[in-house]
């Protein structure tokens, strides 16, 4: 058996490349690498062995500690919302809200409160992709002067279920099927639709889940909602019901299903990367906080129970009052320490904010704290920097796993009277300044004996689903119907498909007919409804296309500019400058990442290589090509697909005369979204051309 060369203590080990000279670092003042116990490490490249080729010695404590910590780097991921991205920022209140709440962060106009915001998908694991059809979590931790307030919501204002006792069933149904371990991060399978078809209360949420709302283009272009009805309480003890809304400054923007699928393949981290790059370049995502405020009289007159999380209050019925803005301007310093270890809990509220008897909210108040203990392994998770309040904190809770504080004093109980040798008696309750729960004696409480029953006011499961579907733009309706066809085509159990269709008849017979036709099935009779559906006045605020949150602008959006050897440098520069002037981001894409040599011999570097930077990464595209380059690119599949996808995904395409051969090869037909490279392109680049859609794909 051949032997490897022997190593002397001083010869050619890889560790010698790193040398023994301490580099300045964050862990010790003088830059020395140490163990977790502060013991300086002399060699971080080689294990301690019995001889150069001998066995490793157990006494190598530096090795054992390093491997031990590595083996435990991963903690249990969240059961839901495992795939998350987050950022730091601040909330700024516009004017005092003292008349409706005593919450400190709402008292002084212009005051900024630090926040940490986590966006997430619901169904997939931490290693799934960013862009599946799924609800998005939208959780905000306010570090207020009175403690942490966690507003833990979604990008949809309603939910699947009315009572928290059904949440484990919902999640089990949408997760990977128990016997086969797939599909991952997808609702298009038997168990989910079986559960949904048996739970009519989920119908309204299904309309949202199958709509374009669950295919957001960016975190920065989706709304956020607190989902539940909460209370705001002022200094006089007066309560006002409230629903929380986050309105994106850049408006609403979604993707096309085909586009979302292709983005998942091209860049699984698309939305996470987008958030990072926006903040890195200073295009800070921004939302305005809106409140729907109402009293008991409104609650009693409203058609639906305000404690029912499967219902919303249309903005046309109760306008949203804008009260402040939130800006995200800093990425986490460490993904694990902050994004992964942040612990949100709806029970974290501050004086001036309070709960209602919403049965879904009440269950969440219990569940989250239990979850954090399971994930983070200790009751002291609140001591982690990302979870710690930024205001003073003091109590007599002691010890426990991973206690990092060193409480002083003899007494660890309250009340106590031990004052000696300079010791204080410790913190005390204060009825005047402390949190006091709202005395819930109004009609909405309807308290009584202990019962397991749904109130009759929760019984209408279809009217708001009908309202949502009929309020959508016709293109959005087609997308929703097509999404239903896609999802149900993955359901192998026929009786489940039939049951879903029978529920859809109660929502809208025409929708049921479209979905049934897409499945090649007959429309069944409507399912029995606990309450007869009613027709409500339509709510344009629920739509994305032609809705109040649509923004036809290039601000915050990106334009892919396809160039090649022989392109005109002046045209490239003109388009780029026009995009920047419109507050967009130009990205030069070329067959080679090294760039191109323009018509005048100038070298222009590229931002992305054609095969690795498809048009799905952009909101619009421009083609700046010579006739010779365009002709050559007709034989390049990535180039043809670049243009074909942009056209099929209803985006604006700006092109010079030289690009005609490539446009023709990609099957581009002239319409309002296909322009030259001038002002017409900049105007068109801020929108999608949904009128094109019937010509490029078959929808239900």
Q: Which domains are assigned to the chain?
A: 1-73 (4.10.91.20), 84-383 (2.40.180.10), 558-695 (3.40.50.880)
List the one residue out of 509, 554, 547 whose CA is nearest residue 527.
Answer: 509
- Quick one: average pLDDT of 681-692? 97
pLDDT of residue 8 exceeding 90, the answer is no
- Quick one: average pLDDT of 379-403? 89
Q: At which residue do the structure tokens 């998350």 appear?
A: 84
Flag the least confident range among 66-75, 213-222, 672-681.
66-75
Question: How far out from the chain centre does Cα 689 lie?
Answer: 26
Band the pLDDT of 15: cuts 50, 70, 90: very low
Identify whether 154 is a catalytic site residue. yes
pLDDT of residue 6 exceeding 50, the answer is no
Question: Alpha-carbon torsion 487, 489, 491, 493, what sign?
Answer: positive
pLDDT for the residue numbered 424: 67
pLDDT of residue 20 exceeding 80, the answer is no
Q: Are strands 286-294 and 596-597 parallel, antiparallel or unpaired?
A: unpaired
Band the pLDDT of 598: cuts 50, 70, 90: very high
pLDDT of residue 614 exceeding 70, the answer is yes
In degrees to the nearest 10, what's the CA dihedral of 97, 102, 103, 109?
30
pLDDT of residue 17 exceeding 60, the answer is no
Band the pLDDT of 590: cuts 50, 70, 90: very high
pLDDT for the residue numbered 448: 59
pLDDT for the residue numbered 2: 41
- Measured CA distances, 492 to 46, 181, 497 (Å): 56, 16, 8
Q: What is the distance between the alpha carbons of residues 263 and 270, in angstroms, rounded to a whole number?
A: 7
- Quick one: average pLDDT of 572-585? 97
Question: How do residues 170-203 score in pLDDT, each as one tens digit?
Answer: 999 999 999 999 999 999 999 999 999 999 999 9
Helix (H, G, I), strand (E, B) or coil at 72: coil
- What's the mean per-residue pLDDT of the chain? 91
Question: How do residues 482-512 score in pLDDT, each as one tens digit?
Answer: 999 999 999 999 999 999 999 999 999 999 9
Residues 6+ apart with CB under 8 A from 493: 190, 194
Q: What is the distance between the alpha carbons of residues 296 and 536, in angstroms, rounded to a whole number?
A: 21
Q: What percent of the chain has pLDDT over 90?
A: 78
Q: Are strands 286-294 and 321-330 parallel, antiparallel or unpaired?
A: antiparallel
pLDDT of residue 445 exceeding 70, the answer is no
Residues 6+ apart with CB under 8 A from 124: 82, 83, 132, 134, 184, 185
Identify whether 81 is a catalytic site residue. yes
HEC per residue, 300-329:
HHCCCCCCCCCCCCCCCCCCCEEEEEEEEE
Band the pLDDT of 38: cuts 50, 70, 90: confident
- Candidate list 13, 27, 36, 81, residue with the active-site label: 81
Question: How do residues 364-389 score in pLDDT, each as one tens digit?
Answer: 988 888 888 889 988 889 999 999 99
- Measured CA distances, 691 to 134, 266, 534, 694 (Å): 26, 27, 31, 7
Q: Is 623 left (phi over 0), alpha (psi -120 to 50) or beta?
A: beta
Contact assessment for residue 151 and residue 137, using Cβ atoms and an 8 Å cutoff: no
- Quick one: average pLDDT of 12-16? 36
> Tokens standing for 676?
């030259």
pLDDT of residue 129 exceeding 80, the answer is yes
pLDDT of residue 3 exceeding 80, the answer is no
Helix (H, G, I), strand (E, B) or coil at 624: strand
- Quick one: average pLDDT of 243-267? 97
pLDDT of residue 413 exceeding 90, the answer is no
pLDDT for the residue numbered 4: 39
pLDDT of residue 10 exceeding 50, the answer is no
pLDDT for the residue numbered 25: 42
pLDDT for the residue numbered 32: 86
- Candidate list 148, 154, 380, 387, residue with the active-site label: 154
Contact assessment for residue 606 and residue 596, using Cβ atoms and an 8 Å cutoff: yes
Q: What is the distance between the alpha carbons of residues 551 and 324, in angstroms, rounded to a whole number?
A: 20
Q: What is the distance between the alpha carbons of residues 619 and 553, in angstroms, rounded to a whole number?
A: 10
């Amino acid at each position: 058996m051949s032997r490897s060369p022997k190593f002397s203590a001083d010869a050619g080990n890889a560790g010698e490349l790193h040398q023994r000279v301490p580099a300045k670092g964050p862990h010790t003042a003088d830059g020395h690498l140490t163990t977790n116990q502060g013991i300086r490490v002399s060699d971080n490249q080689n294990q301690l062995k019995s001889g150069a080729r001998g066995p490793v010695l157990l006494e190598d404590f530096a090795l054992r500690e390093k491997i031990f910590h590595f083996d435990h780097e991963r903690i249990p991921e969240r059961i839901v919302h495992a795939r998350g991205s987050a950022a730091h920022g601040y909330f700024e209140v516009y004017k005092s809200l003292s008349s409706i709440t005593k919450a400190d962060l709402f008292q002084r106009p212009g005051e900024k409160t630090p926040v940490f915001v986590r966006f997430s998908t619901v169904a997939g694991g931490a290693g799934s992709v960013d862009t599946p059809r799924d609800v998005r979590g939208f959780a905000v931790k306010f570090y207020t002067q009175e403690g942490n307030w966690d507003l833990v919501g979604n990008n949809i204002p309603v939910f699947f279920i009315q009572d928290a006792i059904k949440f484990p069933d919902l999640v089990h149904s949408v997760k990977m099927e128990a016997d086969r371990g797939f599909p991952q991060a997808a609702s298009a399978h038997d168990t989910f639709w079986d559960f949904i078809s048996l739970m009519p209360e989920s119908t309204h949420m299904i309309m949202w889940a199958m709509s374009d709302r669950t295919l957001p283009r960016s975190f920065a272009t989706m709304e956020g909602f607190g989902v539940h009805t909460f209370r705001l309480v002022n200094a006089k003890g007066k309560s006002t019901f409230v629903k929380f809304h986050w309105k994106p400054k850049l408006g609403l923007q979604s993707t096309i299903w085909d586009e979302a699928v292709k983005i998942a393949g091209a860049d699984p981290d698309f939305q996470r990367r987008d958030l990072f790059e926006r903040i890195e370049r200073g295009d800070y995502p921004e939302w305005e906080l809106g409140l729907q405020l109402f009293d008991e009289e409104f609650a009693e007159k409203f058609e639906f129970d305000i404690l029912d999380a499967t219902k919303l209050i249309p903005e046309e019925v109760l306008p949203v009052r804008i009260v402040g803005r939130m800006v995200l301007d800093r990425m986490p310093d460490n993904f694990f320490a902050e994004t992964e270890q942040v612990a949100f809990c709806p029970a974290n509220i501050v004086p001036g904010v309070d709960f209602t008897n919403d049965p879904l909210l009440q269950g969440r108040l219990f569940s989250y704290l239990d979850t954090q203990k399971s994930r983070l392994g200790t009751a002291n998770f609140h001591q982690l920097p990302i979870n710690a309040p930024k205001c003073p904190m003091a109590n007599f809770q002691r010890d426990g796993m991973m206690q990092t504080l060193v409480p002083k004093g003899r007494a660890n109980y309250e009340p106590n009277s031990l004052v000696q040798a300079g010791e204080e008696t410790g913190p005390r309750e204060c009825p005047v300044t402390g949190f006091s729960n709202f005395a819930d004696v109004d009609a909405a409480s309807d308290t009584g004996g202990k019962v397991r029953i749904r109130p009759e006011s929760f019984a209408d499961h279809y009217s708001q689903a009908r309202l949502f579907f009929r309020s959508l733009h016709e293109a959005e309706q087609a997308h929703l119907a097509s999404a239903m066809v896609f999802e149900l085509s993955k359901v192998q159990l026929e009786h489940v498909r039939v049951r879903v269709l029978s529920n859809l008849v109660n929502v809208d017979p025409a929708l049921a007919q479209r979905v049934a036709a897409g499945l090649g099935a007959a429309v069944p009779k409507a399912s029995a409804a606990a309450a007869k559906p009613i027709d409500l006045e339509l709510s344009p605020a629920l739509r994305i296309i032609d809705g109040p949150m649509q923004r036809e602008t290039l601000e915050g959006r990106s334009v892919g500019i396809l160039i090649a050897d022989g392109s005109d440098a002046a045209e490239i520069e003109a388009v780029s400058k026009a995009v920047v002037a419109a507050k967009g981001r130009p990205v030069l894409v070329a067959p080679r990442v090294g760039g191109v040599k323009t018509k005048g011999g100038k070298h222009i570097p590229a931002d992305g290589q054609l095969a690795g930077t498809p048009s799905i990464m952009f909101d619009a595209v421009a083609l700046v090509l010579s006739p010779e380059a365009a002709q050559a690119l007709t034989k390049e599949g990535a180039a043809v697909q670049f243009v074909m996808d942009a056209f099929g995904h209803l985006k604006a395409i700006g092109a010079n005369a030289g690009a005609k051969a490539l446009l023709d090869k990609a099957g581009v037909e002239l319409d309002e979204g296909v322009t030259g490279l001038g002002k017409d392109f900049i105007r068109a680049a801020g929108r999608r051309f949904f009128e094109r859609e019937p010509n490029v794909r078959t929808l239900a």
